[in-house]
Amino acid sequence: MNAHVEDRTPLVEMEEISISFGGVHAVERASVNLYPGEVVALLGHNGAGKSTLIKILSGAYRRDSGVIRIRGEEARIENPRDAKSYGIETIYQTLALADNVDAAANLYLGRELLTRWRTLDDAAMEARAREVMGRLNPRFQRFKDPVKTLSGGQRQSVAIARAILFNARILIMDEPTAALGPQETAQVGELIQHLKSEGVGVFLISHDIHDVFHLADRVTVMKNGQVVGTGRVEDLTKDEVLGMIILGKCPPGATPGPGAA
């Protein structure tokens, strides 16, 4: 992450976000931010609130209170369509790809290009797919193959390319390496580096601390719906991050949140 990040406007600011389900606080007064070209990892046990917080950003849930700003302007995000209009895209662990069609068809799923005769413009979609994939993953060559025949890392490439194609500037990645081997995990790392170089901001939801130390610039830990603390990865040890997750203990290298013990 470059040194000038701090004096730029954040891509995303979520301030004092709260949401309850049936009287239970799933997220309480949580604040996180994300700068262009930065990866912020959200960590915590299942039920800590990290996925719920991010689903508020992606429009899947509507917050009860708090403010979301995108590039310094207050944002109204009440559904996934609103989120997409702000350049927010989510890549879920399941990847939500159509297995029986090829990469180009997946990139344009539901947003197909048509010729002037109202037929599918396969040539234009494949050309655009090659261009986007060439930027993202130059080694990718299997444009004609059904997506189900691709490796996990290649499938991630397709899912990320689909988001980039429609101008995502804020990418939410949910457990992107959960089912991948070491080589494919490294491939996803390369994809993330590429996104950063293009100024895309990434929220990374993960359980894997090694992953986080390898991929993220900053980490925000949640426990019981509250933020324990946020710190730069280079200022923290893995043990300190574990202490935040398990004990809610905020170390000196991190800024404490309302959930710090």
Domain of residue 79 covers 5-87+169-256
**Using one digit for the tens of pLDDT, what is the confidence trace for 98-145?**
889 999 999 998 888 999 999 999 999 999 999 888 888 888 888 889
Q: Please, are residues 247 and 50 in contact by the beta-carbon 8 Å criterion? A: no
**180 falls within a domain:** yes
Of 145, 165, 185, which closes a domain? 165
Of 108, 138, 165, which closes a domain? 165
* Residue 48 CB contacts under 8 Å (≥ 6 apart), including other chains: 222, 223, 224, 225, 245
Can you say whether the dihedral through the CA atoms of 118, 123, 124, 128 is positive or negative? positive
Of 131, 165, 199, which closes a domain? 165
Asked if residue 106 and residue 43 are part of one domain, the reply reads: no
CA-CA distance, 192 to 79, in Å (whole number)?
Answer: 26
**Using one digit for the tens of pLDDT, what is the confidence trace for 219-247?**
999 999 999 999 999 999 999 999 999 99
Asked if residue 182 and residue 140 are part of one domain, the reply reads: no
Give yes or no for residue 173 having a pLDDT over 50: yes
**32 falls within a domain:** yes
Q: What is the 3-state secondary structure (H, E, C) of 55-68?
A: HHHCCCCCCCEEEE
Q: Please, are residues 64 and 84 in contact by the beta-carbon 8 Å criterion? A: no
Q: Please, are residues 154 and 188 in contact by the beta-carbon 8 Å criterion? A: no
Asked if residue 75 and residue 39 are part of one domain, the reply reads: yes
The half-sphere exposure of 226 on its side-chain side, counting CA atoms within 13 A, is 14
Residue 5 — pLDDT band, cuts 50, 70, 90? very low
Asked if residue 175 and residue 82 are part of one domain, the reply reads: yes
Can you tell me whether residue 44 is helix, strand or coil?
coil
Asked if residue 148 and residue 29 are part of one domain, the reply reads: no
Helices (H), the chain: 50-57, 80-85, 103-107, 122-136, 152-165, 182-197, 209-215, 238-247
Closest CA to 15 of 27, 28, 31: 31
Q: What are 37's two structure tokens?
A: 């070209």
Can you say whether the dihedral through the CA atoms of 80, 113, 168, 205 is positive or negative? positive
Can you tell me whether residue 70 is helix, strand or coil?
strand
User: Residue 255: what pLDDT?
Assistant: 96
The half-sphere exposure of 62 on its side-chain side, counting CA atoms within 13 A, is 5
**136 falls within a domain:** yes
Q: What are 191's two structure tokens?
A: 């994809």
Asked if residue 103 and residue 63 are part of one domain, the reply reads: no
User: Residue 207: what pLDDT?
Assistant: 80
What does the chain come to in residues?
Answer: 261
**Using one digit for the tens of pLDDT, what is the confidence trace for 7-36?**
589 999 999 999 999 989 999 999 999 999
**Which residues partner with 42 through β-bridges?**
205, 220
What's the structural domain count of the chain? 2
Give yes or no for residue 4 having a pLDDT over 80: no
Q: Please, are residues 33 and 218 in contact by the beta-carbon 8 Å criterion? A: no
